[in-house]
Amino acid sequence: MEKINVRLWRKEDFDKKYQEECENGIEKWGIKADNQDFKNIVIKWLSDNNLLNKKIIDFACGKAHYATWFCKLGCKYHGLDISPTAVQIAKDNLKNYSSAVIFELNIVDDVNVINEKYDAAFDAYGFYLLQKDDRRKYLKNAYACLRNGAPMLFIGLDFLENGDSSEAYKTEIETAGFNVEKIDEYIYESFDRIFYVRKPLNAD
Ligand SMILES: C[S@@+](CC[C@H](N)C(=O)[O-])C[C@H]1O[C@@H](n2cnc3c(N)ncnc32)[C@H](O)[C@@H]1O
Per residue in 98-142, pLDDT (tens digit) is 999 999 999 999 877 778 899 999 999 899 889 889 999 999 999
Segments of the chain assigned E as strands: 55-59, 76-81, 100-104, 120-124, 151-157, 179-187, 191-198
76 lines ligand 1 (CB under 6 A): no
pLDDT in tens, 1-20: 455 677 778 898 889 989 98
106 CA: nearest ligand 1 atom = 20
- Burial of 46 per CB tally in 10 Å (0-12, 13-18, 19+): buried
CB atoms within 10 A of CB 77: 24
For residue 159, name the pLDDT band (cuts at 50, 70, 90). low
Kindly report, residue by residue over 70-108, the tens digit of the pLDDT: 999 999 999 999 999 999 999 999 999 999 999 999 999
Q: Quick check: CB of 82 below 6 Å from ligand 1?
A: yes
Domains of the chain: 14-20+32-198 (3.40.50.150)
For ligand 1, what atom is nearest to the CA of residue 108? 19
- CA gap 14, 110 in Å, rounded: 17
Cα–Cα distance, 172 to 168 (Å, whole number): 6
Give the pLDDT score at 15. Answer: 92
Residue 8, pLDDT score: 79
Q: Is 93 in the pocket of ligand 1 (CB under 6 A)?
A: no
Contacts of 89 (CB under 8 A, 6+ apart): 18, 22, 63
Structure confidence at residue 102 (pLDDT): 97
Mean pLDDT of the chain: 89
How does strand 151-157 pair with strand 120-124?
parallel
pTM for this entry: 0.94
Q: What percentage of the chain has pLDDT greater than the value 90?
A: 63
Residue whose Cα lies nearest atom 18 of ligand 1: it is 106
Secondary structure E strands in 82-145: 100-104, 120-124
> Of 81, 102, 104, 105, nearest to 92 (Cα)?
102
